Chain A
Amino acid sequence: MSEQSNFGPDLGEVFGPNHADGGPELVQLLTPEGERVEHPEFSFDLGDEAIKGFYRDMVLTRRIDTEATALQRHGELGIWAQLLGQEAAQIGSGRALRTQDFVFPTYREHGVAWCRDIDPLRLLGLFRGVDQGGWDPDDGNFGLYTIVIGAQTLHATGYAMGLQRDGVVGTGDQDRDAAVVAYFGDGASSQGDVNEAFIFAASYNAPVVFFCQNNQWAISEPIERQTRIPLYQRALGFGFPGVRVDGNDVLATYAVSQAALQRAREGQGPTLVEAYTYRMGAHTTTDDPTRYRLSEDLETWKLKDPIQRVKAYLTRNGLVDQAFFDEIETEAERLGEHLREGCRALPEPRVLDIFDYVYAEDTPELAEQKAGFAAYLDSFETTGAH
């Protein structure tokens, strides 16, 4: 993949000749062919029922994504950030969370939102332009989508420092000890904020898991533009462990996230998890990946599809019958309908309301602007409604 450059080493060794394989450090528990494999350090400690649940989660998450993409194509959404291909990274890490844990997402964590019981309809508001985050972060402990790349990793670290001060870290009480997950991508790993978050988290031993979905592309820029070493290895320089996990393997992302979260909850500090995956879709619906990447890469990664390998595992081992798949398909249809109908029914924002959201304690200046604008609107008899 990487070309020999006159200005640096051939990166083939660190990224692999074809970097799709993730290298020898990759933690994998379920192969692309659907075979269970063991790893000396990480194991999947749940049964087949959980795997069936993950399968359902991933199929429904993909449905949310395809439905939202279609809604954008129909002009119902202004834009949509697709997660196609990243379902296992999000469901595995999302299902490893406990109720008391807190999540700081980017704008692509639709699968994690699903795990936090956020109605996927709420995710559409931002992309439809009716709101800038339609849920209460304290419901489901899921922060608002953050668009400035990497900013939320510091929020996560600060929240984790708050947990320490609240005495809910390392008490040994499984229902009480909490951790935070900061989601971000390979592009964000170049941001100062992410590096500052690593430093703060290391310095205070904060209970935060930095969960990087390395989907290989920051819009058009490949991972080689962001880093000269595998991202997970950066953790070492900051003084905490880093793990590269097969981001398309839901068993492995669950196991690794679970271990990292447990470390954090127990007071052993931060971990960097690099979920090695691939953005199979575009950056967003406005992007055109054919301008900058090869279709053969996509074909390679299609063979590693996170959903197909679980399906292969379930089928090959006779763990499910056709009715199982039919039921999920029916559920997906209902979810699609919910999104299509719900999206069009999302209430339009009212322009006078925005004045009320600026401050917790209103200012006379803004009250005056609001009143003035209301009077102005009222002066148009024909369009007076607002």
Chain B
Amino acid sequence: MAKITLAKGLNAGIRKAMENDPKVLVMGEDVGKLGGVFRITDGLQKDFGEDRVIDSPLAESGILGTAVGMAMRGYRPVCEIQFDGFVYPAYDQIVSQVAKIHFRSQGKVTMPIVVRIPFGGGIGAVEHHSESPEAQFAHTPGLKVVACSNPVDGYWMIQQAIACDDPVIFLEPKRQYHADKAELDESTTPQPLFTSRVVREGSDLTLLAYGPMVKTAMASAEAAATEGKSIEVIDLRTLSPLDLAPVFASVRKTGRAVVAHEAHVNLGMGAEVASRITEACFYSLESPVLRVGGFDTPYPPSRIEEQWLPDLDRVLDAVDRSLAF
């Protein structure tokens, strides 16, 4: 078994999908010769050719708009948006076309398009390179939205997203790309794509996270354990649809929940999750569901981003407030 990074996991996953289905195409800015600015598509153009790994003009709406046409012709485009903050020029095509064509056609036309977006902060980047736009897509009917948090999930989830007949916004925690390695056993059967997962069991509080915050949540649970607090951590993995059955089961057990994400708290995923937990687990709750996330400001200059991003201490602060309620 090989130890791989998230970047390698995604790369291997896309490669596998391209080997399995000749209709799978990769499109985006710098995805070809360069292999993407994060090297996620490294080597793919060399092996699959320029017709299947397409360096596009620098126009995000153009990438998504042409992907729609290719999907109508029977292809399965995997579009890379170079950075989260650059997805907005494509927003109209994603929201008004990609998301709605299946509905508009009463199911006659499918849109098997994957939009890969490196998201989240913590890499010391300039403006527009560190955002977390997931709620805007999860709010859009017709799209499915998932976020991977580790190399093994990256390998499986990207293949499952490409195989899905619906458009999938695929969020990749960019600061994890070349960070932690994990062992990939390709012989195992992956968990279905649109499901969440309990990644650490506990009994005092349920901590929910996805993407880059899963690592922070795990570290927080570890730290809390040294103080005798038992935290259950769930990696949500799928943001639309949400898979909350495991979350409800957990909250009914612990009576407390904290949701953590890098995105702004106002109208973020945490708000939806908190609302659903309250509806489903009202009589089990010992305290209000709390949210930890980015403040309701634009993403700050990078020298202060570590203060802005919810870290272990801010997560533990919310955990403490919940336990003390």
Contact = CB atoms under 8 A, between A and B. Distances in A.
A and B pair up: yes
Interface of A: 104, 131-133, 136-138, 143-144, 146, 148, 151, 153-166, 180, 192-193, 196-197, 199-200, 203, 353-354, 356-361, 363-366
B56 interface: yes
A159 B72 contact: yes
Nearest to A356: B107
Contact of A154 (B69, B108, B164): B69
Contacts of A356: 107
A144 B241 CA distance: 27
A133 B104 contact: yes
Contact of B61 (A159, A160, A196, A357): A196
Contact of A360 (B51, B104, B110): B110
Contacts, number: 139
A155 B75 contact: no
Most chain A CB neighbours (cut-off 10 Å) among B56, B61, B62, B112: B62
Most chain B CB neighbours (cut-off 10 Å) among A104, A132, A360: A360
B57 interface: yes
Interface string B58-73: 0101101111111111
Interface in B169-221: 194
Interface of B: 25, 51-52, 56-57, 59, 61-62, 64-75, 89, 92-93, 96-97, 101-110, 112, 141-142, 144, 164-166, 194, 241-242
A365 B97 contact: no
A200 B56 contact: yes
The A interface, classified by DSSP as helix, strand, loop or mixed, is helix
A101 B225 CA distance: 65
Most chain B CB neighbours (cut-off 10 Å) among A158, A166, A199, A363: A158
A165 B68 CA distance: 15
Closest 10 CB pairs of A and B: A158-B69, A154-B65, A162-B73, A158-B66, A159-B69, A196-B62, A360-B165, A363-B241, A155-B69, A196-B59
Contact of A157 (B65, B75, B96): B65
Given A159-B73, A366-B241, 19 more contacts: A133-B105, A136-B105, A138-B108, A144-B104, A148-B96, A151-B97, A154-B61, A154-B93, A155-B68, A158-B69, A160-B69, A162-B69, A162-B73, A200-B66, A359-B102, A359-B166, A360-B110, A360-B112, A363-B144
B69 A157 contact: yes
A359 B61 contact: no
A350 to B, nearest CB: 11
A360 B62 contact: no
A106 to B, nearest CB: 14
A157 B165 contact: no
B61 A363 contact: no
A165 B75 contact: yes
Nearest to A138: B108
Contacts of B105: 132-133, 136-137, 144, 357
A361 B104 CA distance: 16
24 contacts: A132-B106, A136-B108, A138-B108, A148-B96, A148-B97, A154-B61, A154-B64, A154-B69, A157-B66, A159-B69, A162-B73, A165-B51, A180-B69, A192-B89, A197-B62, A197-B65, A199-B62, A200-B57, A357-B103, A358-B102, A358-B142, A360-B110, A361-B164, A363-B144
A207 B58 CA distance: 21
Given A148-B92, A154-B93, A200-B56, A357 B102 contact: yes
Contact of A161 (B69, B103, B104): B69
A164 B112 CA distance: 19
Contacts of A164: 51
Given A358-B142, A359-B144, A155 B72 contact: yes
Contacts of A166: 73
Contacts of A200: 56-57, 59, 62, 66
Contacts of A199: 57, 59, 62
Nearest to A104: B69
B61 A163 contact: no
A193 B69 contact: no
A158 B93 CA distance: 13
A155 B57 CA distance: 15
B69 A363 contact: no
B106 A357 contact: yes
A273 to B, nearest CB: 19
B166 to A, nearest CB: 5
Given A154-B62, A196-B59, A357-B107, A365 B69 contact: no
B166 A361 contact: yes
A193 B65 contact: yes
A156 B96 CA distance: 16
A175 B160 CA distance: 37
A42 B71 CA distance: 35
A163 B68 contact: no
Contacts of B69: 104, 154-162, 180
